[in-house]
Amino acid sequence: MAPLKYFRGSTLVETLVSMTLIMIIMGASFTALSGIAQSTKSQARFRASFIVKDLLADENPFGIQDTSQTDYGGFFIEQELLPYDDSSALRVMVVNAVTPDGKVIFSGRRLVVTDDELKPALINDVVINRK
C-alpha cells in the first residue's frame, strides 16, 4: 500500500483572518474615495459661488439676452433677465450654477435698472441663495 501524501493547506482560522484583513482594507479605501468625491463637490460649489457673485457684480449685465448658458468645466452658469412686476424699467438678473445632471448648486439674483432716468434713484441689491 502506498503512503498517504499530506498537502499543506490553510486552516479555517487563517482564512477568516485573511478575509477580515481584506474587509478592513476595503472599508478604509471606500471611506477615502467617498471623502474625495465630497471634496470635489464642495470645490465645485466654491468655484460656482465666486463666478455667480462676479457676474452679479457686473456693472453692465445687458450683454446677455433673455437667457444664456456657459460651460465652466464641471458645471454650467445660466443667466436670465426677467421682467420685474410689470415695470419696463426694472428687470431681475438671475444667475444659477447648475451641475450637468440639472441640480442647482448656487444661485443669485440682482435687481437691474434698464432706464437711465431711474438709475440714480435705485440701488442695485444682490441676493445670494446657497443651495
User: How confident is the model over 25-77, as pLDDT tens digits?
Assistant: 999 999 988 888 888 888 888 888 888 888 888 766 656 666 778 888 888 88
Q: Please say whether the beta carbons of 48 and 75 come within 8 A.
A: yes
What 3-state class would DSSP assign to 19? helix
Q: Report the alpha-carbon distance of residue 66 to residue 51 in Å, rounded.
A: 19
The C-alpha angle 82, 87, 92, rounded to 5 degrees, equals 30
**Residue 32 contacts by C-beta under 8 Å, 6 or more apart in sequence?**
none
On the question of pLDDT at 103 being above 50, the answer is yes
Q: Report the alpha-carbon distance of residue 5 to residue 33 in Å, rounded.
A: 47
Instruction: Using the structure block, give the residue that is written with the C-alpha cell 444661485.
Output: 107
pLDDT-derived band at 8, boundaries 50, 70, 90 = confident
**Residue 129 contacts by C-beta under 8 Å, 6 or more apart in sequence?**
106, 107, 108, 109
Residue 20 pLDDT: 96
Mean pLDDT for the stretch of residues 11-37: 92
